[in-house]
Every structure is written in C-alpha cells, then in structure tokens.
Amino acid sequence: MENTIFEKQKVMNIYTKRNNSCMNYFLVRITEKCNNNCIFCSAAHVRNNQSLSLENIKNMVDANADKKKGIEIGGAEPTLHKGFFKILEYCADKFKVITFTTNARMLCYRKFVSDLKKIPNLCIRCSIHGPNQEIHDSLTRTKGSFAQTIKGFANLSEMKIPFDVNIVITKSNVKYLSKTVDLLNSYNVSGIYFSGFMPISKKDIDLKLAVPFDELKAKIRDVLEYCIKLNIPFYIEKLPVCIAPEFSDSFIVESYKGHFTKVKECIGCIFINNCMGICKKYFEEGFFTEIFPVYK
C-alpha cells in the first residue's frame, strides 16, 4: 500500500509570498485518506486509503530539515494519519513553522485540540465551504461535516489557538461570502483566505461550480471591504490580481504555477510579475471571458 503513495510523493519546495514577505516550505503529503468527499476537490482522483509510514516521513523530514524554512504537512486530510501527532512533534524543532490545512472535523474532539496546543510554531489553516449545514454539507457530500467543523472552530477559539480559514469560492457559496465571514468572526478567526476554484481533478469535478470572472470580481470586492470593516485580515489565492487590484498586497503568489497561465492581455500589466495568473482550466472552459489587466 505504502509504496504507491511513496512513489507518487513529490518533495516540493514552494515559496509563498504574503504581505510582501516570502517563506519557503517543504511539502510532504502524508496521506490520501479523507473523511469528506468534496464535490470540488482537486485531489479527488488520487483519493485512496494510503498513508506514508512514520519511518518514511521521518526520513524525508530529516533530509529536508531547515530552521529557516517551514514544513507543510499535506495530504488529503492530514489529521487522519494515525501518527499525526508524532509527525508534528518530530518536526517541531526542525523547521521554523509547521503548517497544515484541515477540514477541521477531527478538531471537534477537545483532546485533539488540546494536544495541538502543545506543538510550538504551528500555523493551522481550516476550510469551510458555506455559512450553514445546507451549503457546506452539500459541497462536502458528507452529512454532519459542517457540525464537526464548526465544533472544531469553537474548540480552537475556546483554547485560544490561532487559526486561519480557507473558503474556496464556488457558485454554491459566492452569494453567502459575507455571511460566512460573520460566522468565522464569531469564532475569532485570525485570517481568511478567499481562494479561486481550480477545476483540475480528473474525476467528478463539476464545472458548473465555477464563478465567471465578472461576477467574481464584484462579489470579491464586497466581501474584502466587509473584512476591512470587521478588521479581519484576509488573503486572496489562486486568482489573478486583476480580480481585485486595489487589494494587490493581499494576493498570495506561489512558486509552483503548474495549473496557472498568463494570457496575451497580461503583457504590460503592472502586476505581471506578482500574480499567479489564471487557472488554465478555468480559462480553457471560458469562465474568463474578459480580462482586466492594469496598465498603470
């Protein structure tokens, strides 16, 4: 079982530019297991029950340990790896920060969250897909997932553990972004990531979830202004800067741009070197009918 995931493993060094500061990360994908079945999941086609062994993870960590770098503990749902805490503990003194993204369902257990509190230099990013059970559970295709995710946020907030939240913007939740922000604000979220939807999985992905560029442009501006009003830090990722150029400093630029492209209109745009560009598939499917480069 382990061999296949190990062979597929890409040791990646990525950098993320956020607020004009850059951080290099070593990314290790520890498991392909997941307890959700998100309709938009970019990794749906590789979903299976495989996990890397603790021994292999430790070897990879040792080979890449660097106190100037971060480590991203990735996967489908990393909290489902049976050695999750052993991995965090092992990484603790080997990297500047340890980060992971989670659907937060395991965080509904208080003991799980109190154990997280013991790990130094942890950056937790959770995901939510809407302001209520109806929207969220229909996107995760998992009944009860909203309730567990929200309980996870409540536990983090109660134990005063900082956490960010990622929202992937789709047709199902684009009208409810401000409502979702209200919900997150009630749990004292540290920051919100608004992410573009990448219709890149080879399996099961519904292109009807994609929000056309002109609609997204208006909605994103409204919700970012709302975050400013509520004093919540925010970031925008997997989207081109021209979607909200007045917030250009809040865009995340990743070094790995495999799924992204620039188009001929980008030539001459003042943000060309500080922009992810446009998700290729999004572009090919015609969701970017108009591009709005910024020439001065």
Ligand X SMILES: C[S@@+](CC[C@H](N)C(=O)[O-])C[C@H]1O[C@@H](n2cnc3c(N)ncnc32)[C@H](O)[C@@H]1O
Angle of helix 54-64 relative to helix 84-91, nearest 10 degrees, comes to 20
Please say which residue, 69 or 129, places its beta carbon nearer to ligand X: 129
**Token duo for residue 262:** 């620039």
The Cα 147–Cα 136 span in angstroms is 10
Q: Residue type for 96, please? A: K
Please say which residue, 37 or 185, places its beta carbon nearer to ligand SF4: 37
The Cα 136–Cα 146 span in angstroms is 6
Q: Minimal distance in Å, beta carbon 233 to ligand SF4? A: 23
Q: Residue type for 276, please? A: M
* Number of Cβ within a 10 Å radius of residue 56: 17
Q: Minimal distance in Å, beta carbon 218 to ligand X? A: 20
From the list ligand X, ligand SF4, none, pick the one residue 195 interacts with, judged by a Cβ distance below 5 to 8 Å according to partner type.
ligand X
Contact mark string toward ligand X, 150..179, x via CB under 6 A: ----------------x-x-----------
Residue 127, helix vs strand vs coil: strand
Please say which residue, 241 or 279, places its beta carbon nearer to ligand X: 279
Angle of helix 213-230 relative to helix 177-185, nearest 10 degrees, comes to 30
The Cα 193–Cα 220 span in angstroms is 11
Please say which residue, 27 or 34, places its beta carbon nearer to ligand X: 34
Interface residues for ligand X in 227-256 (CB under 6 A)? 238
CB 171 within 8 A of CB 210: yes
From the list ligand SF4, ligand X, none, pick the one residue 37 interacts with, judged by a Cβ distance below 5 to 8 Å according to partner type.
ligand SF4
Q: Minimal distance in Å, beta carbon 275 to ligand SF4? A: 24
Q: Minimal distance in Å, beta carbon 6 to ligand X? A: 19
Q: Is the dihedral of CA 97, 41, 31, 180 positive or negative?
A: positive
The Cα 15–Cα 29 span in angstroms is 16
The Cα 103–Cα 115 span in angstroms is 17
Determine the size of the site formed for ligand X (CB under 6 A).
18
Q: Minimal distance in Å, beta carbon 198 to ligand X? A: 4
Please say which residue, 140 or 148, places its beta carbon nearer to ligand SF4: 140
**Token duo for residue 171:** 């047709």
Which region among 97-105, 114-122, 130-138, 180-188 touches ligand X (by CB under 6 A)? 97-105
* 84 scored as a contact of ligand X (CB under 6 A): no
Contact mark string toward ligand X, 21..50, x via CB under 6 A: -------------x-----xxxx-------
Q: Which residues bind ligand X (CB under 6 A)?
A: 34, 40-43, 76-77, 101-103, 127, 166, 168, 195, 197-198, 200, 238
